[in-house]
Amino acid sequence: MRYTKTAAHPPVVSLNHLSWSYGDQQILDNLNAHIQSGVFTAILGPNGSGKTTLLHLIMKHLTPEKHCVYLHTKDIRTCAAREIARMVASVPQQTATGYTFSVYEMVMMGRYPHLRRFQAEGERDREVVRSALEKTETWQLQDKLIHEISGGELQRVVIARAIAQEPDVLALDEPTSHLDPRHQIAVLSLVRRLIREEGMSVLCVLHDLNAAMQYSDHVLLLDGGRIVQSGTAQEVLTAEHIETVYGFSTSIISTASGRSFIVPAEEQYCEPTA
């Protein structure tokens, strides 16, 4: 099991009685969690359960209360945006491709948090970018403009940009929701490889329960702004928990190789009209 090695590592992100509201609408209610280093942590939950808000708070896109979010041992409120960018890199759901930057220029933007205002990109920056392009297998695309490549390629380029930031944590918000099945697998496998080979920690909002089952080490299951379950994918993603949180019944099917898959229970299906 992949999760076993984590006990030795200190947490990269700690949530300590974290709450958040928009106006008088409470979005997150007293979250407590430690995101372990070097593992894939999936954040799951129905729409409106606060997943994306949580991700925004961990990157200080929204500013949490004092002493609620720690990166390593530092209160995020005391960190400047550039400092956070060197610790956490975000991969959004979708990236606009309106302005025609080249793939290489796009990935070089990942070096911005490491460069002072008057400092030009140096040999080391080019080296980091080259390596990020290679790891994401986008090296051959470097001279293309970002609107010339496919959605799957673009998402890999965005991940390359995030890698170029040399962060400890990669924060992904439904990175596969606009991709076809082949690219979904490619992106998530790439993320797993980054954990194994680069020792990165991954925090990933997902809607696809099976993707979480296959790729994550740890799952935080959110519902109504609270963490209702926390544990390994096998522990959290049971038919009972899914029924409680998502409100529909499922069966867990195991394959001969020992993998588990979640399928909606038989009564959920509607016969196709012939």
Is 178 near another protein (CB under 8 A)? no
In the region spanning residues 98 to 157, those forming contacts with another protein, defined by CB under 8 A, are 98-102, 105-106, 109-110, 112-113, 115, 117, 147
Instruction: Using the minimum distance from each CB to another protein, give the nearer residue, 53 or 90.
Output: 90
Among 60, 73, 88, 58, which residue's Cα sits nearest to residue 166? 88
Minimum distance between the CB of residue 257 and another protein, rounded to whole angstroms?
A: 37
Is 246 near another protein (CB under 8 A)? no
Minimum distance between the CB of residue 118 and another protein, rounded to whole angstroms?
A: 8
Minimum distance between the CB of residue 119 and another protein, rounded to whole angstroms?
A: 10
Bridge partners of residue 52, in order along the sequence? none
Q: Among residues 59, 141, 187, 200, which is the contact residue for another protein, using CB under 8 A?
A: 59
Work out whether the CA dihedral 21, 27, 32, 37 comes out positive or negative. negative
Q: Among residues 81, 239, 253, 265, which is the contact residue for another protein, using CB under 8 A?
A: 81
- Please report, as ranges, the residues that interact with another protein according to CB under 8 A: 59, 61, 80-86, 89-92, 95-102, 105-106, 109-110, 112-113, 115, 117, 147, 158, 161-162, 165
